[in-house]
Structure 1
Amino acid sequence: MEAVGGAALYSSSGVLFGMLTSSDVDEFARQNHFQTELEKLRKLQVRIVGVMNNAENKQMSKPLVKIWLDEAYRLMYVVDNMWDDFQALTRTKGRSQSTTSNARSLIPTFCTCFVDTALFRLRLRKIIIHLKDISAQIDVLGLEKGVEGKVSSLEGSTVTPSTPLVGETIVYSKDKEKEEIVEFLLSYQGSESKVDVISIVGMGGAGKTTLAQLVYNDKRVQEHFDLRVWVCVSDEFDVARITMSILYSVPWTNNDLQDFGQVQVKLRDALAGKKFLLVLDDVWNEEYSKWDILRSPFEAGAKGSKIIITTRSEAVAMIMGRTVHLFRLAVLSEDDC
């Protein structure tokens, strides 16, 4: 079996899986009453490792997947290190290490060995909690076992995710629009809603993303808002992915999130009482129901919070709620740059 990238350590070598499924491990777990924990660890690790190749392929286009993958690798190494501790435990019980000595040489040692079975069991339970956390995110992130990453495309061309960073090319012709949007962001004019929506509408190449970047990085805007978040939406308006992207961009306590409802509650709590700016770049969604679900946690924010969307369609802008300001951009000419 051939694995891709770092996931090869776990799927291709079979070293760790060999330890997990060995009769020595089963016997020791039975004698020391942690068979249930061991079985949970096996199932979680198989589930996580099974999607890591897919995550590797998606991480460049989906920053949230990159965060997940980094955490998955970190936890896999923690599990690796536990088997150094396991060997120490079996040595103290006078058990032979012949079946694991070769495999152990392939796994780096970072932790001081626990020689007490109760402490080892406690550590096993703690790592299971963390593994459950990232396992619960697999479906939310759309990761699939044994499937290559899908590349989002529009009109047959690959979509490059946007970021809040402005490139070296500055569009001077957008200064007027930028100042108008910044002025609106800093004011409390608009609807009665706590969160007002500003839509930047224009054809491809009109400079929508660049204008949003210039506004997002304006020093006055940075100082005005408690939180600023940028999410590249692109062609798929995946409510779960967008919500997770926002959540990972704001301070929050990483608890065990089991379902999407808990993710929304956690985001609501993170935004509560804070004046935030959210940019949703390249939105194509025309289904009001999806937007209605996504915006639910936003109402916890402080009055004066703002959302900027960039889109090619005024229909999209209209369904995003109470759009109190709409900017229509023309395609840039060479003289504009």
Structure 2
Amino acid sequence: MMRELKKLKARMRSVSKLLSDAEEKQITDAAVKEWLDELKDAVYQADDFLDEIAYKSLRLNLEEELVDQKDVLGLIERIGGEPSLRRTPTTSLVDESGVYGRAAEKEAIMKLLLSDDTKGQHLDVILIVGMGGVGKTTLAQLLYKEMVVSNDRSLKSSFDLKAWVYVSEELDVLKVTKNILKGVGLMNCDNMTEDQLHCELERKLSGNKLLLVLDDVWSDNRSQWEFLLKPFMSVRQGSKIIVTTAQ
């Protein structure tokens, strides 16, 4: 395939050399101008086609090389719901030494956090969306820290309850619910059933203004999210959930 690609590219270069001569003659010759327009279209389409073929060829070769390397390294394919890559959990602690240029974003989201204009909703969800590595978690950490350890009393008292929960690839509703409960102060909940967890979380949240961060969310399973958020109907108006996600 690569040999044929080289031949086709050589022909394309030969045809392209005619362009300079045609560029001059098209001014006085309408037929040359029409031929030149058609040639340009053909050249551009062929160029795109070549790029696509070259990419697919390179990708195929790379995939074959990776398969060979997999065998050499003794790696096996796992079947089932186990995540392909173990991600490092996050906490609310932030290293501010490497944080630059997030002031505007932080200020904009802070205004949303402090706003009680919820349009009739007791609970607002604020999404921080972006590709991996762009600083979604760091931004959420900065905001959370501002609300937890700020020298400004009005900020610290903006929410009655605060919790940070790392979610990751699989949305384990039971685990996330337990971690939310622990975050808002109920540590002894590991042996509770799902019903007990829901009822206890609703009781804990009832009448309180909540700030919850759900970091590194991947799942978009609507039924799971609806089940997870059932106890949150008892929160006080102005409660917020910050969700960081790549989706």
TM-score (norm 2): 0.61
Give the aligned residue type for 1:309. Answer: V
Post-superposition Cα deviations, 1:173-227, rounded to whole Å, max 9, x if no partner, equal: 1110101111111111233210000000000111100000000011254331111
Q: Is the 8 A contact 1:233 1:281 kept in 2?
A: yes
Q: Does 1:271 align with 2:205?
A: yes
Identity in percent: 46
Post-superposition Cα deviations, 1:47-93, rounded to whole Å, max 9, x if no partner, equal: xxxxxxxxxxxxxxxxxxxxxxxxxxxxxxxxxxxxxxxxxxxxxxx
Give the aligned residue type for 1:209. Answer: T
Matches within 5 A, 1:264-303: 264-303=198-237
- Out of 132, 138, 142, which is 1:204 matched to? 132
- In the alignment, which residue of structure 2 is the partner of 1:161? 89
Q: Is the 8 A contact 1:194 1:305 kept in 2?
A: yes
Q: What SS does the corresponding residue of 1:297 show, helix, strand or coil?
A: helix
Give the aligned residue type for 2:166. Answer: C
- In the alignment, which residue of structure 2 is the partner of 1:310? 244
1:252 is displaced (CA, Å) by 3.7
Give the aligned residue type for 1:293. Answer: F
Assess, with a 3 A threshold, how the Cα gap between structure 1 residues 257 and 222 changes in structure 2: closer, same or farther. Answer: same
- In the alignment, which residue of structure 2 is the partner of 1:232? 166
Assess, with a 3 A threshold, how the Cα gap between structure 1 residues 209 and 260 changes in structure 2: closer, same or farther. Answer: same
Q: What SS does the corresponding residue of 1:299 show, helix, strand or coil?
A: helix
Q: Is the 8 A contact 1:257 1:263 kept in 2?
A: no
- Aligned CA RMSD, in angstroms, stands at 1.9
- Looking at structure 2, the residues matched to 160 and 256 of structure 1 have their Cα atoms a distance apart, in angstroms, of 22
Q: Is the 8 A contact 1:216 1:222 kept in 2?
A: no
1:248 is displaced (CA, Å) by 1.2
1:238 is displaced (CA, Å) by 0.5
- Looking at structure 2, the residues matched to 161 and 287 of structure 1 have their Cα atoms a distance apart, in angstroms, of 21
Q: Is the 8 A contact 1:235 1:283 kept in 2?
A: yes
1:297 is displaced (CA, Å) by 0.7
Q: Is the 8 A contact 1:196 1:306 kept in 2?
A: yes
- In the alignment, which residue of structure 1 is the partner of 2:55? none
1:253 is displaced (CA, Å) by 8.1
- Looking at structure 2, the residues matched to 169 and 304 of structure 1 have their Cα atoms a distance apart, in angstroms, of 31
- Looking at structure 2, the residues matched to 171 and 304 of structure 1 have their Cα atoms a distance apart, in angstroms, of 28
Q: What SS does the corresponding residue of 1:173 show, helix, strand or coil?
A: coil
Q: Provide structure 2 residue ranges, at least 5 long, that are not aligned to the other structure.
A: 1-81
- Looking at structure 1, the residues matched to 190 and 140 of structure 2 have their Cα atoms a distance apart, in angstroms, of 34
TM-score (norm 1): 0.45
- In the alignment, which residue of structure 2 is the partner of 1:330? none
1:167 is displaced (CA, Å) by 1.2
- In the alignment, which residue of structure 2 is the partner of 1:192? 120
Post-superposition Cα deviations, 1:239-279, rounded to whole Å, max 9, x if no partner, equal: 00000001111234847954101111001101111101000
- In the alignment, which residue of structure 2 is the partner of 1:247? 181
Give the aligned residue type for 1:231. Answer: V
Q: Is the 8 A contact 1:278 1:306 kept in 2?
A: yes
- Looking at structure 1, the residues matched to 162 and 192 of structure 2 have their Cα atoms a distance apart, in angstroms, of 26
- In the alignment, which residue of structure 2 is the partner of 1:223? 157
- Looking at structure 2, the residues matched to 262 and 169 of structure 1 have their Cα atoms a distance apart, in angstroms, of 42
Q: What SS does the corresponding residue of 2:240 show, helix, strand or coil?
A: strand
Q: Is the 8 A contact 2:161 2:211 kept in 1?
A: yes
- Looking at structure 2, the residues matched to 161 and 256 of structure 1 have their Cα atoms a distance apart, in angstroms, of 19
Q: What SS does the corresponding residue of 1:267 show, helix, strand or coil?
A: helix
- Looking at structure 2, the residues matched to 157 and 291 of structure 1 have their Cα atoms a distance apart, in angstroms, of 23
Post-superposition Cα deviations, 1:67-126, rounded to whole Å, max 9, x if no partner, equal: xxxxxxxxxxxxxxxxxxxxxxxxxxxxxxxxxxxxxxxxxxxxxxxxxxxxxxxxxxxx
Q: Is the 8 A contact 1:279 1:309 kept in 2?
A: yes
Q: Is the 8 A contact 1:222 1:228 kept in 2?
A: no
Give the aligned residue type for 2:100. Answer: Y
Matches within 5 A, 1:21-170: 153=83, 156-170=84-98
- Looking at structure 1, the residues matched to 219 and 103 of structure 2 have their Cα atoms a distance apart, in angstroms, of 28
Q: Provide structure 1 residue ranges, at least 5 long, that are not aligned to the other structure.
A: 1-151, 314-337
Q: Is the 8 A contact 2:181 2:189 kept in 1?
A: no
Q: What SS does the corresponding residue of 1:182 show, helix, strand or coil?
A: helix
Q: Is the 8 A contact 2:181 2:187 kept in 1?
A: no
Give the aligned residue type for 2:140. Answer: A
Which protein has the larger Cα radius of gyration, Structure 1 or Structure 2? 2
